[in-house]
A and B are shown apart, each in its own frame.
Chain A
Amino acid sequence: MPPSANSEQMTIHRRGRGLAGETIKGRAMSSILIIEQILNGLQFGVMLFLMAAGLTLIFGVMGLINLAHGSLYMVGAFAAAAVAGWTGSFLLALAASLAAAALFGALIELTVIRRLYARDHLDQVLATFALILIFSEATRWVFGSFPLFLNIPEALSGTLTLPGGIEYSRYRLTIILIGLAVAVGLFLLISKTRVGMRIRAGENDREMIGALGVDISILYTLVFALGAALAGLSGALVGAIQSVEVGMGEPVLILAFVVIVIGGIGSIKGALAGAILVGLTDTLGRTMLPWAFAAFMEPSAASSVGSSLASMLIYILMAGVLLFKPTGLFGSA
Chain B
Amino acid sequence: MIRERYINFLIGALLLIVPLVALQMDEPFIITLATKAAILALAGVGLNLALGQGGLVSFGHAAYFGIGGYAMGILASHAQDYAPLMEVPFVIEGTNLMPVIWLVAIVASALAALLIGALSLRTSGVYFIMVTLAFGQMFYYFAISWPAYGGEDGLSIYVRNQFPGVNTLDPIQFFGICFVVLMAVLFLVNRLNKSPFGLALNGAHQNEERALTVGINVYRLRLVAFVISGAITGLAGALFADLNRFVSPTMFSWHTSGEIMVFIILGGVARLFGPVAGAAVYILLEHMLGGISEYWQIYLGLILLFVVLFAKGGIVGGLARREVRHDG
Give residues in A with beta carbon < 8 Å to B.
Answer: 1-3, 5-6, 9-10, 13, 59, 65, 112, 115, 120-123, 125-127, 129-134, 136-138, 140-141, 250-251, 254, 257-258, 260-261, 265, 304, 307-308, 310-312, 315, 318-319, 322-323, 326-327
Contacts and interface: CB of A to CB of B under 8 A. Distances in A.
Contacts of A308: 142, 145-146
A206 to B, nearest CB: 16
Contacts of A2: 255, 297
Contact of B130 (A260, A319, A327): A260
B226 interface: no
Those 10 A-B pairs whose CB atoms lie nearest each other, nearest first: A133-B301, A315-B138, A134-B301, A120-B327, A130-B304, A311-B141, A257-B130, A130-B305, A137-B298, A130-B301
A129 B308 CA distance: 11
A9 B253 contact: yes
Contacts of A258: 130, 134
Q: Which of B138, B146, B296, B304 has the most CB of A within 10 A?
A: B138
A265 B128 CA distance: 12
Interface string B238-255: 000000000001100111
Contacts of A125: 57, 59, 129, 261
Given A122-B57, A122-B326, A137 B301 contact: yes
B141 A261 contact: no
Interface string B293-311: 0011110111011001100
Nearest to A305: B146
Given A5-B255, A131-B305, A260-B130, A322 B262 contact: no
Interface residues of B, number: 53
B250 A137 contact: no
Nearest to A135: B301
Interface string B217-231: 000000000000000
Contacts of A3: 250
B258 interface: yes
A112 B142 contact: no
A1 B256 contact: yes
14 contacts: A9-B253, A13-B141, A126-B304, A127-B304, A127-B308, A129-B304, A130-B300, A131-B305, A133-B298, A141-B295, A261-B127, A261-B131, A307-B145, A311-B145
A10 B327 contact: no
B119 interface: yes
A312 B141 contact: yes
Interface of B: 51, 57, 59, 119-120, 122-123, 125-127, 129-131, 133-135, 137-138, 140-142, 144-147, 152, 249-250, 253-256, 258-259, 261-262, 265, 269, 295-298, 300-302, 304-305, 308-309, 312, 326-328
Given A254-B134, A261-B134, A311-B142, 12 more contacts: A1-B253, A2-B255, A122-B265, A125-B57, A125-B261, A130-B305, A131-B301, A131-B305, A133-B301, A261-B131, A304-B147, A326-B122
Given A130-B302, A326-B123, A257 B133 contact: yes
A30 to B, nearest CB: 25
Contacts of B123: 261, 322, 326-327
A258 B296 CA distance: 31
B contact patch SS: helix
A137 B295 contact: yes
Contacts of A123: 308, 312
Contacts of A251: 137
Contact of B255 (A1, A326, A327): A1
Given A65-B130, A315-B138, A120 B326 contact: yes
A1 B265 contact: no
A326 B121 CA distance: 10
Contacts of A323: 119, 122
Contacts of A319: 119, 135
B77 to A, nearest CB: 18
A318 B125 CA distance: 17
Nearest to A264: B127
B129 A65 contact: yes
B135 to A, nearest CB: 6
A322 B117 CA distance: 12
Nearest to B137: A254
A250 B136 CA distance: 14
Contacts of A10: 144, 152
A311 B305 CA distance: 33
Nearest to B138: A315
Given A122-B51, A312-B142, A112 B305 contact: yes
A257 to B, nearest CB: 4
Contacts of A5: 250, 253, 255
Q: Which of A115, A318, A322, A323 has the most CB of B within 10 A?
A: A322
A140 B131 CA distance: 29
A245 to B, nearest CB: 16
A126 B125 contact: no
Contacts of B133: 254, 257
Given A125-B59, A318-B131, A322-B131, A133 B304 contact: yes
Contacts of B119: 319, 322-323
Contacts of B125: 121
Nearest to B253: A6
